[in-house]
Structure 1
Amino acid sequence: MTTNFQRLPRPLKRAQQQLAACRTVRVAVLGQAAVGKTAITVRFITKRFIGEYDPTLETIYRHTFSVDGECVQFEILDTAGQEEDAMLIEEKIKWAEGFIIAYSVTDRCSFDEVLRLRFLISHIHSNVKRCHSDTPPPVVIVANKKDLQYDRMVTTDEGSNIGQALKCPFFEVSARDSYEETVAVFSLLYREVASTGALSAFRRKVSSKLMDKIPRIHSTATTSLASRSFSLSSVKDFLTD
């Protein structure tokens, strides 16, 4: 007597196991408007450069990526960079475990903003107990638009010097020209967060009504758009809860 057993698809089972094994890291990308925060984020997620997007749209992107052979689920908060009250920025800083502070080499005002944002992160962190550790959350400083040499207002040395002064890793990148440079930024930030022990599976996730209202978009919603160019002016079509 022969009995037929229904088998579950193995690829799906393996995919579920791999997703369950991923470590999640929350990253907030901070900086003034128009420095290329969205371009850096979307370049990392989709490998594509976008030059047109809605500068007022805030989104949390979810993207699975391998760092040093380890599966990592990135949750990346792309902030609008607009002026906002202290409570709003505080909630975003409390939510994240690692930070990218971006500025444009063509905008000295955005460079001057780096110091203020680093102070805010340190100040807010000092009032928040993270994983029973006094180690401040990792911050990476990123100078974008290095391809615009003729419009440059901030030198590479100035960026490197502020990174050393604030004890933060420093990158000068071109989101337009290089996908690999954005990968290096997010990979290093993950390593920095992991080294602090902040990714413990038993940690309490910080959340709030404000953060819950920010739309989420999965990377699969962007990378599957093979037949059309990706523009964040229409990104709301692909937002998921």
Structure 2
Amino acid sequence: MTSRGIRRKKSSLSEVKVAVVGAPSVGKSGMCANDPSLSLTVRFLTKRYIGEYDHQQESKYKHEALLDGEPILFEILDTCPKGLNELPGNEVAQWADGLFLVYSITDRESFNYVRRAKQSLQPEVPLTLVGNKADMVHLRQVSLEEGEILAKDFECNFAEVAAAEQVNQVGEVFHELCREVLSHRRRAKHSLLDRMLGSKTAYRVYSRGKSDSALPKD
């Protein structure tokens, strides 16, 4: 009885696939030192901040969280390009329900990278532009206004966060993207339902017209 209850609970989980895309930030020994996209992912998953990662290829993580009182199973794909010229492929956009495009406010190249990544992906899913390392304003290379302008160009949400310090803010950007994904799904279902009902209505009208024409004439 208990096991059935657990299975029902797990099956009721909404699953949301999120891809985190950002430029590489490689330090000594080929490790991703303070990588802006990975630090965001690790902060969300573990509530901890780790400055350096042995992370040389894309990884997937699963994480269960409560969103507005409902359990959500996040599947997170963290991409790890080996160079600034390595852009994510279409398979990333096709896999994901939502996308994070992450850059560091202290790194102009990472900002340029997400611009090119967006053009490469051409996503048809909700996305959020995130400027990381907002606590390092003394090293800022990308202004807040530039981030806001790019987000308007992308027609997406925008946030500056400090993954090293702001665990709640990082969690909220993940949750807000998830809300957008779920809203996008509902709109898609309603659109499909409207199309299906529209087709059935048209068929019923056609059938009725045909039967009327078969009535005996005076």
**TM-score bracket for this pair, using the shorter chain length:** 0.7 to 0.9
1:18–1:71: 8 Å Cα contact kept in structure 2? no
The 3-state SS of whatever aligns with 2:89 is: helix
TM superposition shift of 1:15: 4.0
Q: Distance in 2 between matches of 1:169 and 1:56?
A: 29
Name the count of aligned residue pairs: 178
1:33–1:55: 8 Å Cα contact kept in structure 2? no
Q: For 1:193-217, what per-residue CA distance to the aligned partner results, in whole angstroms no more than 9, with x for missing partners?
A: 11111797xxxxxxxxxxxxxxxxx
- 2:16 counterpart residue number: 25
TM superposition shift of 1:13: 5.3
Q: For 1:136-159, what per-residue CA distance to the aligned partner results, in whole angstroms no more than 9, with x for missing partners?
A: 211100000011121111111111
2:89–2:121: 8 Å Cα contact kept in structure 1? no
Tell whether 2:151 aligns with 1:160: no
Q: For 1:109-151, what per-residue CA distance to the aligned partner results, in whole angstroms no more than 9, with x for missing partners?
A: 11112221112222xx5xxxxxxxxxx2111000000111211
% identical equivalent positions: 35
Which sections of structure 1, spanning at least 5 residues, go unmatched?
1-7, 126-135, 201-241
Relative to the length of structure 1, the TM-score reads 0.68
Report the AA paired with residue 163 of structure 1.
A
- 1:56 counterpart residue number: 56
Runs of 4+ in 1 over 6 A off after TM superposition: none
Tell whether 2:129 aligns with 1:141: yes
In terms of Rg, which structure is larger?
A: 2
The 3-state SS of whatever aligns with 2:164 is: coil
Tell whether 2:97 aligns with 1:116: no
CA RMSD of aligned residues (A): 2.1
Tell whether 2:180 aligns with 1:192: yes
Q: Distance in 2 between matches of 1:49 and 1:85?
A: 26
- RCO comparison, higher one (Cα < 8 Å, 6+): 1
- 1:218 counterpart residue number: none
TM superposition shift of 1:85: 6.3
Report the AA paired with residue 159 of structure 1.
G
Relative to the length of structure 2, the TM-score reads 0.75
Which sections of structure 2, spanning at least 5 residues, go unmatched?
26-34, 190-218
